[in-house]
Amino acid sequence: MALVLPALAAAAPGPKGSLVIIGGGSRGPAIMQEFLRLAGGSGAVLAVFPMASSLAATMGEELTAEFRRLGAREVRYLNLSRAEADSEAVLERLKGVTGVYFAGGDQSRLMDVLRGTRTARRLHELYRAGAAVCGTSAGAAVMSRMMITGDERFNKDPDNGFFMIRSTNILTAEGFGFLENAIVDQHFLRRKRHNRLLTLVLEHPQLLGIGIDEATAVVVRPGGLFEVFGDSTVLVLDAAKASKTTRDPAGNLAAAGLQLHLLRSGDRFDLSKRKPLPRKGD
């Protein structure tokens, strides 16, 4: 009798949605209009999550008014407790949503409410089905699986942050993981956050480091290509091909052959191939 082999399972299709990841600061019209376009334009139904902000209710109302001015058909702002994030009522409010927006503030505050909840799972379902997901500042940090918290293990000086590149110094937590193969940092050039992203990519070379400056965004399309929008630049760090990373007894890290890409508005990058692409029209 011939041996019948089971059919190989087809690879799960990638998400159909897009990500708009803003580095904080001002959100220029080109960025916000692109998010609204990806979310459906005049037919967009948006869900706004303001819980990262210390003034969440005020932030939610301001963002609702802003998105209505931009032309969204409907805006639902959800200032949730953790219990509410697991409720059927909130899942009902997410029906028909075509775009999701995470406000800035403290990323840990947002994730403490949503991590592991039914709402978080539904947001992934919306993204896989084609919704656009946007976040700024703290709302950018939550996009990656490894989320920078903003805290350090060894340095306790709040006025002189991230002055070292030392093993295990940068504290992270679990983010949403819409972006699986990278770590996102925000306010990058303005707040000189190079050291913390360098530390993390040296410790996790399988992950690209994406540092997004203020007033700037990366728009990640289905398939993993991203384009830069905005007024400043995006820095991509890649330690995958660096010589073996070493550390001294104090934990100071060293490596040779790291790659650094500095991208401006209109530049494109292939996340799966880890390399820049020609600009449109080149």
Mean pLDDT of the region 143-151: 97
pLDDT band at 98 (very low <50, low <70, confident <90, very high): very high
Instruction: Check residue 3 and give its pLDDT.
Output: 46
pLDDT(1) > 80: no
pLDDT of residue 188 exceeding 60, the answer is yes
pLDDT at 4 over 80: no
Confidence of residue 2 (pLDDT cuts 50, 70, 90): very low
Confidence of residue 281 (pLDDT cuts 50, 70, 90): confident
Task: Give the start-to-end residue ranges of the domains of the chain.
Answer: 18-266
Q: Are 46 and 98 in contact (CB under 8 A)?
A: yes
User: The whole model's pTM is what?
Assistant: 0.94
Say which amino acid occupies 277. Answer: L
Q: How many residues does the chain have?
A: 282
Confidence band (pLDDT; 50, 70, 90) for 6?
low
- Across 196-221, average pLDDT: 97
Q: Express as a percent the part of the chain with pLDDT over 90.
A: 91
Query: What pLDDT, on a 0 to 100 scale, did the predictor assign at position 7?
Result: 52
pLDDT of 11 reads 54
pLDDT for residue 10: 53
pLDDT digits (tens, 9 = 90+) for 223-253: 999 999 999 999 999 999 998 889 999 999 9
* The pLDDT of residue 172: 97
Mean pLDDT over the full length of the chain: 94
Residue 12 has pLDDT above 70, yes or no: no
What is the predicted pLDDT for the residue at 197?
A: 98
pLDDT at 63 over 50: yes
Q: Which of the following CATH numbers is that of domain 18-266: 3.40.50.10140, 3.30.70.600, 3.40.50.880, 1.10.540.10? A: 3.40.50.880
Indicate the Cα dihedral angle 237, 137, 77, 75, nearest 10°: -70
Average pLDDT over residues 50-64: 97
Q: What is the pLDDT of residue 158?
A: 84
